[in-house]
């Protein structure tokens, strides 16, 4: 089928050049947005008297026919078309004949493709936000199911202090909420309507870009025609947002992978999300989680790719920009996939409560609580740290638990110790006495769980 620019040439383009330059194999995903943009454009052109009303009506009717094909999955893209814009234009000509030639008035593919991409981003941002909310709800449900479970928490991957498992889960919910706000920010910065900028300088035809913006649901019109045809910031941002999401999910996956090992043995990942070994019959491997973790490498790579793609480009449009699409589509698809996969894993994961209960009996978890006990009695934090350090070292040397120290022995470390210090060697007590806002205190955590439940179900 014909190209949109054949007139200038007296020679057919080389087959290899076509193969190399065509984007239809991936930008066909923009079909719907291309048609929606074109319907608005045709309406604007006739409202402004730039094309006859009759022609515009035929164009819109033809485009609606194509839209119906797309929405009912009957649209088969033409691999011989250079890109989706060409494909839709050719199709329209096939359906309505000559009036189709008036559609591309006061428009270039340079502003058209930015519009399509912005409409795509707007839709995908909404889907990503919904997928994040879905995962947050599954995590919340998992937290609520295991409300009273206390687990070890780590710094440097060394056992540090005990926390409520639900507190740990709320940390994930917070991370994901930030991802959502980043997506909203991106949506706001995408919300500038590009169409009407044409190739780069605007047009002498009397278009109405404000009307176009209102038809297409943009709150603002992009102010500079050169900027908007070369701007791909919104794509960098959305890929960046996907990179952040997948980085977060990679960290979540890593926690779960560790917790599922024999060594930690705190959770059971449902077999339907594990795989076996071809040689070791006993293995139950967390491959799905490992691929969640691995996916973040790809999206981070794509973020680097889009930055490098843009950094040396002179204003305005350059064909390099076509390569923004595979990077963006892959990033968004990957982020949506891992969000869904993790949601299913949380929905089917079980906590090994007995193991968790055993693990948190380790008394080294409570040294900070004992330090705070002394601080409350007026000892400086530095001195309390020294006292506890000495107690821990000597108990380790003698191979005995801290709680086995008699009151007399405790008093040798500090006269301020009373018998009541013994009740601190207890995981339930350890979480209960935390009282700072945002801490693992059970009442505060319960409040947070409640608030999130309201927010996520609103």
Binding site for ligand ARG (CB under 6 A): 23, 27, 83, 109-110, 113, 317, 319, 321-322
Per annotation, catalytic residue among 25, 277, 380, 404: 277
Can 277 be counted among the known catalytic residues?
A: yes
Nearest to 331, CA basis, from 301, 292, 374: 301
Per annotation, catalytic residue among 156, 204, 406, 436: 156
For residue 192, the SS3 value is strand
187, two tokens: 């949506």
Rounded to whole angstroms, the Cα distance separating 190 from 33 reads: 15
Longest dimension (CA), the chain: 102
Q: Residue 169's CB: how many other CB atoms inside 10 A?
A: 25
Closest CB to ligand ARG among 83 and 241?
A: 83
In whole angstroms, how large is the CA radius of gyration of the chain?
Answer: 30
Can 156 be counted among the known catalytic residues?
A: yes
In this structure, are residues 356 and 373 in contact, taking their beta carbons and an 8 Å threshold? no
For residue 241, the SS3 value is helix
Q: How far is the CB of 156 from ligand ARG (least distance, A)?
A: 47
Rounded to whole angstroms, the Cα distance separating 258 from 270 reads: 15
Question: Which residue bears the tokens 């019959």?
Answer: 281
Closest CB to ligand ARG among 46 and 112?
A: 112
The three state secondary structure string of 54-99 is HHHHHHHHHHHHHHHHHHCCCCCCCCCCCCHHHHHHHHHHHHHCHH
Closest CB to ligand ARG among 116 and 369?
A: 116
Q: Residue 411's CB: how many other CB atoms inside 10 A?
A: 13
Q: How far is the CB of 199 from ligand ARG (least distance, A)?
A: 7
In this structure, are residues 403 and 422 in contact, taking their beta carbons and an 8 Å threshold? yes
In this structure, are residues 402 and 392 in contact, taking their beta carbons and an 8 Å threshold? yes
Nearest to 218, CA basis, from 210, 229, 208, 206: 210
Helix extents (H) in 191-323: 209-216, 225-230, 233-259, 287-311
419, two tokens: 């018998």
Q: List residues with catalytic annotation.
A: 156, 277
């Amino acid at each position: 089928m014909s190209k949109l620019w054949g007139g200038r040439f007296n020679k057919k383009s080389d087959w290899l050049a076509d193969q190399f330059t065509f984007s239809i194999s991936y930008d066909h995903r923009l079909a719907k947005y291309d048609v929606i943009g074109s319907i608005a454009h045709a309406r604007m052109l006739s409202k402004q008297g730039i094309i006859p009303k009759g022609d515009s009506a035929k164009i819109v009717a033809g485009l609606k026919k194509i839209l119906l094909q797309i929405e009912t999955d009957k649209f088969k893209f033409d691999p011989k078309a250079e890109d989706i814009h060409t494909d839709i234009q050719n199709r329209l000509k096939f359906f309505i004949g000559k009036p189709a030639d008036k559609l591309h008035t006061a428009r270039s593919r340079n502003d058209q493709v930015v519009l399509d991409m912005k409409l795509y981003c707007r839709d995908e941002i909404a889907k990503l936000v919904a997928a994040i909310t879905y995962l947050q709800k599954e995590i919340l449900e998992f937290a609520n199911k295991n409300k009273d479970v206390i687990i070890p928490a780590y710094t440097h991957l060394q056992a540090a202090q005990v926390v409520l498992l639900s507190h740990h889960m709320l940390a994930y919910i917070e991370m994901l909420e930030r991802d959502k706000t980043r997506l909203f920010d991106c949506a706001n910065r995408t919300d500038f309507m590009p169409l009407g900028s044409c190739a780069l300088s605007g047009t002498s035809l009397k278009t109405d870009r404000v009307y176009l913006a209102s038809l297409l649901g943009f709150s603002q019109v992009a102010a500079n025609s050169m900027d908007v045809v070369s701007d791909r910031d919104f794509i960098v941002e959305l890929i960046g947002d996907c990179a952040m999401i997948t980085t977060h999910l990679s960290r979540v996956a890593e926690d779960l992978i560790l917790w599922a090992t024999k060594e930690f043995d705190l959770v059971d990942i449902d077999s339907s999300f594990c795989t076996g070994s071809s040689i070791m019959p006993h293995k139950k491997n967390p491959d799905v989680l490992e691929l969640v973790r691995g996916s973040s490498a790809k999206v981070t790579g794509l973020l680097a790719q889009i930055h490098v793609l843009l950094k040396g480009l002179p204003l305005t449009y350059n064909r390099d920009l076509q390569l923004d699409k595979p990077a963006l589509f892959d990033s968004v698809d990957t982020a949506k996939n891992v969000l869904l996969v993790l949601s299913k894993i949380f929905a089917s994961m079980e906590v090994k409560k007995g193991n968790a209960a055993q693990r948190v009996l380790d008394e080294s978890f409570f040294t900070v609580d004992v330090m705070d006990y002394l601080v409350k009695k007026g000892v400086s934090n530095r001195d309390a740290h020294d006292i506890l350090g000495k107690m821990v070292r000597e108990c380790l040397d003698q191979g005995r638990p801290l709680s086995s120290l008699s009151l007399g022995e405790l008093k040798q470390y500090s006269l301020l110790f009373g018998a009541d210090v013994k009740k601190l060697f207890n995981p339930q007590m350890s979480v209960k006495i935390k009282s700072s806002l945002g801490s693992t205190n059970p009442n505060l955590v319960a409040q947070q769980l409640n608030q999130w439940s309201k927010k996520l179900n609103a």
